[in-house]
Amino acid sequence: MTALDLSSPVAVVGTGTMGQGIAQVALVAGHPVRLYDTVPGRARQAAEAIGARLDRLVEKDRLTGPDRDAARARLLPAESLAELADCALVVEAVLERLDVKQELFRDLEGIVSDDCLLATNTSSLSVTAIGGALRAPGRFVGLHFFNPAPLLPLVEVVSGFATDVTHATRAYETARAWGKTPVACADTPGFIVNRIARPFYAEAFAVYEAQGADPATIDAVLRESGGFRMGAFELTDLIGQDVNESVTQSVWQSFFHDVRFTPSLAQRRLVESGRLGRKSGHGWYDHRDGAERPEPDTAERRQPPAYVVAEGDLGPAAELLALIREAGVPVRDESDEDQGACLLLPSGGRLVLADGQTAVEYRDLVYFDLALDYRRATRIALSASQDTSPQAIAEATGLFQALGKQVSFIGDMPGMIVARTVARIIDLAHDAVAKGVATEEDIDTAMRLGVNYPLGPFEWSRRLGRTWAYVLLDDLHRRDPSGRYAPSLALYRHAHAPDPREGTAS
């Protein structure tokens, strides 16, 4: 099954931001495009707005004048659904209400031809449920674009329970012909991106709610250590707290209140107070004119230790040893199975990579968080218990400062910030593949392109090792037995399966 021919008209119903964006994508690709909205005059206004954006593309040398003129000639506002009768594809981008979408597609089914592809851009509703209102749901598919549709490359092509594979393939190939990067997924709550991205927000909010750190510090650690483009608090302020919480609520409810997707009470209070983020002037941060952005907690300068002793395999943090030597701090290599993998400090304190346990369980232990790249990271989070000696804390702080890192101390949070977030993302990704939601490759593509993650979950999993996420989450689950951190069966199987590179279990 191939993509729609460029001579085939494409219709977009709903002329808000997403509807206009999708129409522009189809238009620039070369299709005749019809715009329809139930509000009189709105389709014509949307056509004018799209025309203005085409003008700006010409000004930026991203579109030629003749191509702009030809695209404008192909764009027609429609005054009734009947004018969409000859369209080969109709994409809906209307109100996120099941009854509204079902009624629209029932009406369309009586107007368009039998081979017209019907698609919804829903981000939170069941594609199966919407298509269930049709006599022939096999031609119904989800085409979930990301905002702004003309700029973001990802399109989730969602097959409902009754979607015919030939129609799903046509939708997939059409999205690719439009210059997009499509990924195929089953109809599951949140599809790929909104399902697997939940821990990025949830764990940041959980650390905040437990008074482990303030929003500015958590955001800085996620950016400067985790390699994420934005922190969870600043990103949800940009998205809109009401929008982000609505998606979280939808996924949670659709999974029958699965504790892994539990919404944040702190975010709920933010929404109830009307602090919705940038659009309201205040969210987690104050965005009003003249407001000062809070600074992350940053430790004062300390002297580096005279030396460190490397004991055991530091795993994902092994590159620290080269950095420490380059900073002029002597490293002594020793093997002590009783101590485990750590950096032993002159005071007797131990530096350990976040592992899902707490510092209060040990004597003079300082945890450090996971980094995407310890050489490039500009900040590292440390945590200790109230009983950790001041000398061990000072030596740990000075060591990372000697490596050129800012140091942020957070509360004694098991799994810290980046490590617990990445582990949960990896877990949900493995669970999604095991349940037939999508392939590993499509999940990695979706998370990199849809939410700009520095690595896809499976890329991260391979880098960190087969057992890393499972061990961390299992330790976390022992300390929080609510079920939120219980590793999935899929992750358990992955961690205990034979390593194909070695032929033995690892």
CB 10 within 8 A of CB 4: yes
Q: Which residue among the candidates 126, 159, 194, 408 is catalytic per the annotation?
A: 194
Instruction: For residue 36, give every residue at least 6 positions away whose Cβ sits within 8 Å of its Cβ, in sequence order, or none.
Output: 11, 12, 13, 15, 43, 77, 78, 79, 80, 81, 83, 84
Is 244 considered catalytic here?
no
Is 121 considered catalytic here?
no
β-partners of residue 182 are 155
* Distance of alpha carbon 63 from alpha carbon 158, whole angstroms: 31
- Cβ burial of 57 (10 Å; 0-12, 13-18, 19+) is middle
Task: Give the three-state DSSP class for 351.
Answer: strand
* Distance of alpha carbon 106 from alpha carbon 103, whole angstroms: 5
CB 153 within 8 A of CB 449: yes
Q: How far is C-alpha 185 from the chain's CA centre?
A: 16
Q: Which residue among the candidates 109, 126, 144, 159 is catalytic per the annotation?
A: 144
Q: Which residue among the candidates 156, 203, 245, 395 is catalytic per the annotation?
A: 156
Q: Which residue among the candidates 31, 92, 109, 123 is catalytic per the annotation?
A: 123
Is 156 considered catalytic here?
yes
Instruction: For residue 410, give every residue at least 6 positions away whose Cβ sits within 8 Å of its Cβ, in sequence order, or none.
Output: 207, 212, 213, 217, 218, 221, 297, 381, 382, 383, 416, 417
Q: To which H or E segment does residue 177 belong?
A: helix 165-177
- Which residues are part of the catalytic machinery? 123, 144, 156, 194
